[in-house]
Structure 1
Amino acid sequence: MTPPLAARPLQLGPVTLANRLVGTAHASGAVAGGVPLPGDADYWRRRAAGGAAMLIVGGTVVSPSSANRNGNITEAWRPDVVAGLEARARAITEEGAVAACQLVQLGRETLGAELWSHPVAPTVVRSPREPTRPRALASAEVDGIVDAFRTSAVHAWSAGFPVVELHAAHGYLLAQFLSPVTNFGPDAATVSQRVRILDRIAAAIRDACPGVVLGVRVSAEGGEEAGLGMDGLCELLPRLSCFDYVNITVGVRTTYVRDMAVTDPPLLDVVGRLRAAVATPLLVSQSFRTGATIDAALRSGADLVGVARPLIADPHFPRKMLTGRESSIRPCVSCNEDCRAFDPVLLCSVNPELAPPGESARPAYPLTLGPTRRSTDRRRIAVVGAGPAGLECAMRLGPDHDVTLFEGRARIGGQLAIAADAPNRSGWRRLLDYYSDNLSAVTIRLGHRVSAAELEGFDDVVLAVGAEETLPREAAGTRSLLTSQALVGSEEPLRGAGHVVVVDDGFGLWPAASSVEAALAAGAGLVTVLTPAAAFASGLPAEGRVQYLRRLSGTPVDVRVLSSIVGVSDGSVEFENTLSGVRTRLDADRVVVAGERRSLDWSLVAPDNPRVHVIGDALVPRKVAHAIAEGHAVAREYFLTAGG
């Protein structure tokens, strides 16, 4: 078999990359007081062991003005950070990858976290994400910025990072210098003038760090604020020849981490144009998930392809991709939940093995009934329910035990399959396809509602029977649709409805948000959202909410906040303002309600004799991350019991 293009090595200055796959900048979050904790190096060692040629460590700021108060971002200008940087670099290089350190100054941005300092920028132009304008930097302060990058680069280089990358993307300070919208005046009238700060920083770093490989990250889009449109980017790129490589991505803060609505890499169609504008090796990134898109980017002229979230979901993504085992890659679904929250550190909704420092797996607490049976024997195990909890458990147990997976529906996935049917939420389908592809060692019985009597013959039983959505009493007995009914299969349940009213439960989560998009996709002329909360879609991940609301821009959607339903009748909805108490009635062709999710009664199928585990929504309805972690926790018990 011909090796994929991504398997070819690449010479990057004095550094040899073993292949063309790069882990682009992100942070572990295992940092306190601006200094990496021991768990930080452990995280990077696991990523490096997966086969990426180079790992770029992000979340590394160069001056106090970008240091947030909670201290979970590495403060690279401090001498006492070098030991932590050394541990990082050593962990990466000992696993065969090249270690790179990305350096950033946020400028007028705060990342949404409180800072000790105040925002600064080339000129006084307010960010659309911040309530106040920054202070303009004086000439002497610009000199200080150059020196801050130099000092931080020296610390990284002396700590064992042979590669340093300047972050001039996503609307942060260096990008603010490059943009004519945020840097203007007689000394910034041309691209050559605006790029001067990058030339100065590059020269200072090369003088201080002989032999360093120096890269720069820039981004397309956001030209109306501190970004560059494609034309502006292509005008800039030829002036970056002082760098050893150029890393190109997309977006500004809140849009640069794309959600499930993006199914293809945004830069894939313009790689050829970028290649023509860049004189040095070209790295492209954002939403590369498959071997086909990676190969297409390399064939179009990219030298390297970058991934970040796929490495978080499966650190062995590169090695599996390069050895033809793509179906075994645990996929990033772009839900942007745990990987963007840093609560308490970097986690992943679909990867239960990514855990806080000191933990071997994500903490999870299944309900277990019956005595522990210590045995190394192969066991007969029944898993009831093929939602994410049951799928994770069955997949992990299948190779070592005799596992039968029972599912009452005709397809796997449970409520997750319904979520995957929703517009712009097909990322969940990637996870279900992954489970489907990796259940070959499991006997699967779909469309079979198993009884307690049937389960008596098994040694152990895992109950992952899930939950059901229920209508609130105000809508009981009406033809109102639950969100799980409105989203299943396609937009068919909402087709033909001119006015759809979506009743949110006040928690602002995806069921109601997706129902709005489903109604629009079905052709509704007007969608009215009623929510008792002070804002709509407030429960979505911050970046997902921004991108979701942008998709709704210009659509016939009317949101009524602080509005609780009083009653629903066929053809109308009555609601009241939670502050004034004023009641209003709306005519509606369809009413979709986000109901409470309640656990199904697992005790109805719990056998008397085998050891029983209850996991996922059957225990308490929560997020996908809880379900997967509990399925993984039950499987681990059997590995530990058997000494595996």
Structure 2
Amino acid sequence: MTLFQKSNIKSLVLKNKAVRSATWEGGADADGIPSDKQINLYKELAEGETGLIITGYIVPCTDGRQTPGQMMLKDEAAVEVYRKLTDAVHASGAKIAGQLVHCGGQSSERMAGRKPLAPSAVEAPQYSAVPEELSTEEIIRIKSAFAETARFCKEAGFDAVQLHAAHGYLMNQFLSPALNKRTDQYGGTLENRARFMLEVLAEVKISAGADFPVMVKLNGSDNLEGGLDIEDAVQAAVLLEKAGADAIEISAGTPASGKDGAPVRTGVKAGAGEAYNLEYAKRIRAAVSLPLMTVGGYRSYGECLRALEAGMDFVSLSRPLIKEPSIIKRWESGNTAPSDCISCNGCFKPGLKDGLIRCVINK
């Protein structure tokens, strides 16, 4: 088993098993259009031999926005600009997937232009305020927005999309018993709590076409009392496979999960806490046969191989690729020294300050 083996997700052929997990870059303008500097960041990742690059989270509608510089693709006018991004990636032989997310109760009222929307109007540590409960009509509107943005992604040259159902965002909020207190068809049993995610998947596949790969990022656990646990996550993965998802990336945690939180967990170094979601991914591997990606603290080539040997099809990295965009190319050349990323999370601060993430330790 090798990380550099050619692999497939449906009809999508990838040069290797290395994935850049979705990472917010902070480089988009007020309309959600990526800057030239942000496009160049993707170009560097592709030149560094990352096989599949998953973008930072793209919102399909304004009321799902969370952070400054977040990308948005909600109309035809943006398609040609996004094509510059996909062309830059394809020029170096890599593939690119657009990650689609509505931030739900974790949206920013300032960015979204309204009070955040969520499955239920509950107070929760990960919410800055009690959100408004989504009406059935609003659920229908948001599902349609996902489907339309997936179609725009295909028109813009993306090779796939990934639906973000992890890290406390809207799909994950529906899945969570702690956050979803609905008594209609979207609440109660796991099948009902998964309904929104599965309906979005179905509408996206219709809108973008049956041949267009649709992946899902799923929490193996919210790492929160009362939240989504591994037993429900396994069943959710089974439902996703039955519904036609083409791959699943396993993560865990929310911003309220403390030391086991996501997406910016701290204190992970090579040999110290790597592969912290692998056990969840192995439980899900035993229940489904579709391609699985595992993300969570990969810093060394050896740990990547261990994940593949444990049954994973792909290994996803994020912060090591901020520090060293060409680490996959270096490993393939024979220099398999681990990443010296220390998970200080300083890389995200420049994005908030002047528009693009970068490693603050690199000279």
Whether TM-score is above 0.5 comes out as yes
Q: Which amino acid aligns with 1:332?
A: C
1:191 is aligned to 2:180: no
- Please name the residue that 2:138 is paired with: 141
Is 1:295 the counterpart of 2:305? The answer is: yes
Aligned to 2:251: 249
Superposition deviation, residue 278 in structure 1: 2.3
Q: Which has the higher strand share?
A: 1
* CA displacement 1:49-99 (0-9 Å, x = unmatched): 1011100001311111123584x1111113332122111111111111111
- The 3-state SS of whatever aligns with 2:106 is coil
Choose the corresponding residue for 2:87, options 64, 85, 90: 90
Q: Among residues 332, 344, 349, which one is paired with 2:341 in the alignment?
A: 332
- How big is the shift at 1:338? 2.5
8 Å Cα contact 2:27-2:35 kept in structure 1: yes
Could you list the per-position Cα deviations for residues 405-435 of structure 1 after superposition, in whole angstroms to 9, with x for gaps in the alignment?
xxxxxxxxxxxxxxxxxxxxxxxxxxxxxxx
- Give the structure 1 partner of residue 101 of structure 2: 104
SS in 2 for 1:31: coil
Partner of 2:358: 347
| Preserved contact between residue 219 and residue 227 of structure 1 (Cα < 8 Å) | no
Residues 289-308 of structure 1, C-alpha deviations (whole Å, 9 max, x = no match)? 11111111100110000001
Cα deviation, residue 136, structure 1: 0.6
Deviation at 1:125, TM superposition (A): 1.5
- Runs ≥4 residues deviating over 6 A: none
The alpha-carbon distance between structure 1 residues 131 and 11, as it changes in their structure 2 partners (threshold 3 A), is: closer
Aligned-residue Cα RMSD (Å) equals 2.0
> Is the Cα contact below 8 Å between 2:124 and 2:179 reproduced in 1?
no
What is the rounded CA distance, in whole Å, between the counterparts of 1:128 and 1:112 in structure 2?
A: 16
Higher helix share: 2
Q: What is the distance in 2 between the residues matched to 1:142 and 1:192?
A: 17
Bigger Cα Rg: 1
Cα deviation, residue 221, structure 1? 3.1
Q: How does 1:454-493 map to 2 (within 5 A)?
A: none
Q: Deviations over 1:365-409 (max 9, x none)?
A: xxxxxxxxxxxxxxxxxxxxxxxxxxxxxxxxxxxxxxxxxxxxx
Corresponding residue for 1:200?
Answer: 199
In the aligned structure 2, how far is the partner of 1:112 from the partner of 1:281?
Answer: 37
Check if 1:120 corresponds to 2:124: no
Match of 2:61 among 46, 63, 79: 63
Q: Are 1:175 and 1:227, in contact at CA under 8 Å, matched by a contact in 2?
A: no
1:332 and 1:251 map into 2 onto residues whose CA distance is 21
Q: Give identity over the alignment, percent.
A: 26
Please state whether the residue corresponding to 2:43 is helix, strand or coil.
helix
Distance 2:168 2:107 in 1: 11
Residues 1:132 and 2:129 are matched in the alignment:
yes
Q: Aligned pair in 2 of structure 1 residues 208, 269: CA closer, same or farther (>3 Å)?
A: closer
Shift of residue 37 of structure 1?
A: 1.5
Letter of the structure 2 residue corresponding to residue 66 of structure 1: G
- Map residues 360-375 of structure 1 onto 2, 5 A cutoff: none
Contact 1:176 1:226 in 2 (8 A): no
> Counterpart in 2 of 1:220?
220
Residue identity opposite 1:193 in structure 2? N
Sort the Cα spacing of 1:186 and 1:35 in 2 relative to 1 into closer, same or farther, 3 A. closer
Report matched runs for 1:25-40 at 5 Å.
25-33=22-30, 34-40=32-38
Which amino acid counterpart does residue 348 of structure 1 have in structure 2?
C
1:543-581 superposed Cα distances (whole Å, 9 cap, x missing partner):
xxxxxxxxxxxxxxxxxxxxxxxxxxxxxxxxxxxxxxx
Q: Cα deviation per residue 1:101-152 (whole Å; 9 max; x = unaligned)?
A: 0000000003697542211111111231334211011111110010010111
Task: Find the residue that maps to 2:245 and give its secondary structure.
Answer: coil
Match of 1:258 in 2: 265
- The SS at the match of 1:7 is coil
Partner residue of 1:161?
158
SS in 2 for 1:51: coil
Flag the 1:197–1:63 CA change in 2: closer, same or farther, 3 A: same
Change (3 A) 1:208 1:129: closer
Distance in 1 of aligned mates of 2:161 and 2:184 = 31
| Equivalent residue, structure 2, for 1:307 | 317
- From the superposition, tell whether residues 294 and 162 of structure 1 become closer, same or farther in structure 2 (CA, over 3 Å): same
2:175 corresponds in structure 1 to: 178
1:73 matched residue in structure 2: 70
Q: For 1:596-621, what per-residue CA distance to the aligned partner results, in whole angstroms no more than 9, with x for missing partners?
A: xxxxxxxxxxxxxxxxxxxxxxxxxx
Decide whether the 8 Å contact of 2:218 with 2:251 is kept in 1.
yes
User: Take 2:180 and 2:360, find their aligned partners in 1: how far apart are those partners?
Assistant: 39
After superposition, the Cα gap between the structure-2 partners of 1:268 and 1:111, relative to the gap in structure 1 and judged at 3 Å, is farther
- Distance change (3 Å), C-alpha of 1:175 and 1:35: same
CA distance in 1, matches of 2:87, 2:160: 13
Shift in CA distance, 145/43, structure 1 to aligned 2, threshold 3 Å = same
Gaps of 5+ in 2: none
Matched, 1:48 2:55: no
| Change beyond 3 A, Cα 1:114–1:160 | closer
Give secondary structure in 1 for the equivalent of 2:53: strand
Q: In the TM superposition, what is the alpha-carbon distance from 1:43 to its structure 2 partner? A: 1.0
Q: How does 1:441-460 map to 2 (within 5 A)?
A: none
Contact 1:69-1:116 at 8 Å conserved across structures: no
Distance of aligned partners of 1:340 and 1:127 in 2 relative to their CA distance in 1, 3 Å threshold: farther
Following the alignment from structure 2 to structure 1, what is the Cα–Cα distance between the partners of residues 45 and 313? Answer: 21
Give the Cα separation in 2 of the matches to 1:271 and 1:7: 21
Match of 2:250, SS state, is: strand
Bigger shift: residues 204-213 or 186-195:
186-195
| Separation in structure 2 between the aligned mates of residue 226 and residue 36 of structure 1, nearest angstrom | 37
Secondary structure (helix, strand or coil) at the match of 2:161 reads strand
Cα separation, 1, equivalents of 2:222 and 2:357 = 27
**CA-CA distance at 1:332 after TM superposition:** 1.6
